[in-house]
Structure 1
Amino acid sequence: MLTRLATFPGMAASVGPFSQAVVAGGFVFTTGQIPLSSRTDDRPADFEGKVRQVLTNLQTVLEGAGSSLDHVVNATVYLSDRSQEEEYRRVYAEVFSSRAPALTSICVGIWDFSFEIQCIAVMKEGSSL
């Protein structure tokens, strides 16, 4: 069974033809989350705030899809400025602590966002959509 989840309460509306998450085969695949809150013009000013907002968005999507940050098995991080890697890793480690998933970090130019993350998580046991 394949379930596509386009929007989640409290998050900015998608700006393209994609799903925020797809649930398939007991896994949740998320779209890259960017540092926006409930409106597309509402962005944290400092980089740490951006990282925290992205991780909050990721948590919202995962929980809405029947998973959680505790169930993330793989994450891909896109960073636009390598000099901010240490700061992102500090916040990321704080959020994921000892349950750190497999991780790939890539430094690229990503529109006007400095940080984006996507992940794959397993569904919570007994969870269904």
Structure 2
Amino acid sequence: MSRRAIYSGSPFEELAGYSRALVDGEWVFVSATSGFDAEIKGFASTAVAQARKALEVIGAALEQAGASFADVVRVRCYLSDAADTVEICKLLGEIFDDPRPANTTITCGFPDSNIKVEFEMTARRSMA
């Protein structure tokens, strides 16, 4: 099985030496992804807006890997403020259908205080 990296073009990927996603056989490992918006060169003011942007980036990486949100088996959600949990959970509930992926949500700090949410995902591509 071969491994290949997928890049989103974020300057942080080169700076920190990681890929947005790594495809290894049927598995796709998506790095923690924030909602950095290149158009505004920063982050939206709300966790939900940041989450939507992060999910857009993740969706594109999954597509490049030959996968989709339907293939996601594990989600890790990192939040800077526990008060955003319900709204972010609702957003994830709109994206994932049965069987839904396993999910862990963690409240934590980020190196940039403007970051409100990040997602990390693992998907298993159908090899049919």
Do 1:33 and 1:117's aligned partners in 2 also have CA atoms closer than 8 Å?
yes
Pairing 1:51-66 to 2, within 5 Å after superposition? 51-66=51-66
- Give yes or no for the alignment of 1:37 onto 2:22: no
Aligned counterpart, 1:25: 25
Q: Which residue of 2 is the match for residue 4 of structure 1?
A: 4
Q: Is the CA contact (8 Å cut-off) linking 2:6 and 2:65 kept in structure 1? A: no
Deviations 1:9-62 (A, max 9, x none): xx5342421111111131001111110234681432322111111111111111
Counterpart CA distance in 1 for 2:88 and 2:22 is 26
Matched residue of 1:19: which SS? coil
Once the two structures are TM-superposed, the CA of residue 98 in structure 1 deviates from its matched residue by 3.5
CA contact under 8 A between 1:2 and 1:22: conserved in structure 2?
A: no
Q: Tell me the residue number matched to 2:125.
A: 123
Q: Number of aligned residue pairs: give it.
A: 124
Identity %: 26
Which structure shows the bigger proportion of residues in strand conformation? 2
SS of 1:98 mapped into structure 2: coil
Partner Cα distance (2:5, 2:40) in 1: 19
Q: What SS class does the counterpart of residue 103 from structure 1 fall into?
A: strand
Q: Summarize the Cα distance change of 1:42–1:99 in structure 2 as closer, same or farther, 3 Å threshold.
A: farther
Which range is displaced more, 35-44 or 49-58? 35-44
Contact 1:75/1:119 (<8 A) preserved? yes
The 2-side partners of 1:39 and 1:4 are apart by 28
| Structure 1 residue runs of 4 or more that deviate by more than 3 Å after TM superposition | 37-40
Gaps of 5+ in 1: none
How far apart, in 2, do the equivalents of 1:63 and 1:40 lie?
24
For residues 28 and 80 of structure 2, the distance between their equivalents in structure 1, rounded to whole angstroms, comes to 25
What is the aligned partner in structure 2 of residue 107 from structure 1? Answer: 107
TM-score (ref. length: structure 1):
0.84
TM-score, normalised to structure 2, is 0.85
- How much does 1:63 deviate? 0.8
